[in-house]
Amino acid sequence: MAEIKNKVVVIIGASSGIGEATAKKLASKGAKLVVAARREEKLRELVTSINQENIYFKKADVTKREEIQAVIDLAMEKFGRIDAIFNNAGIMPQGNLSALEFDKWQQMLDTNIMGVLNGIGAVLPIMKQQQDWLIISTDSVAGHVVYPGSAVYNGTKFAVRAIMEGLRQEERENGIRSTIISPGLVDTELVNTVGIKDLEETLKQSAKEEGLGLRAEDIANAVVYALEQPKGVAISEVLIRPSKQPV
């Protein structure tokens, strides 16, 4: 088992939910962190709550390549290396294709797919020099199964699976490993992006019931599991469902 203490980890999408829980979990194990998200005040609150050295934050929107590059630059400036990046930002608008919600579709493509690619692109040159890297991205059960009302979201999450597997194959000789964490329903603010009021309320209630929803800390534990593996072990996928989830 690899030590997490003193590992340098960048978390994109850290202002709440899974990203926040992961930051707290890794900090408790002695990791050095750079956390990023769009909401600067939430990041400030997170850093204050952790209340220790070796954690920095930077406001960044995953759809803006230059802002993600600035996060990576900050990590290199402060620590001189990066051991892992966790691409965690995402949105989940729902609705049938017949609704023709082109703007929502574009938002999902820009955030869920390009956001991951922007993270990968920012660190890949550094990875090739270090020859030892782990890239983790939050995927979803929705990236493994398709269901009505979610075709575009499903598509973005299937794309993340393909991108991360392609990355593994292309860079395996360079010491670069990739992991996707695929949760089912989690009690986080992601539900607020669904865009259908009745469905949002139903999901919020379900997410708080044991067996129907997961806690953000459950997913943070999976990230820790991937990070604790030795260099010669690649955890390609961690699929985590609430025990009563039907899909």
Minimal CA–CA distance to 15: which of 33, 42, 34, 47?
42
Active site residue 153: yes
16, two tokens: 């709440």
Cα–Cα distance, 137 to 155 (Å, whole number):
15
Where helices occur in 4-144 by DSSP H, the ranges are 17-28, 40-50, 65-79, 102-108, 115-130
CA 59 vs CA 43, 71, 105, 108: distances in Å: 8, 8, 24, 20
In this structure, are residues 96 and 148 in contact, taking their beta carbons and an 8 Å threshold? yes
Residue ranges of E strands in the chain: 8-12, 32-37, 55-59, 84-87, 133-138, 176-183, 237-240
Catalytic residue among 56, 147, 153, 225: 153
For residue 61, the one-letter residue type is D
Minimal CA–CA distance to 36: which of 50, 21, 20?
20
115-130 and 151-171 helices cross at what angle (nearest 10)?
10
Supply the residues annotated as catalytic. 153
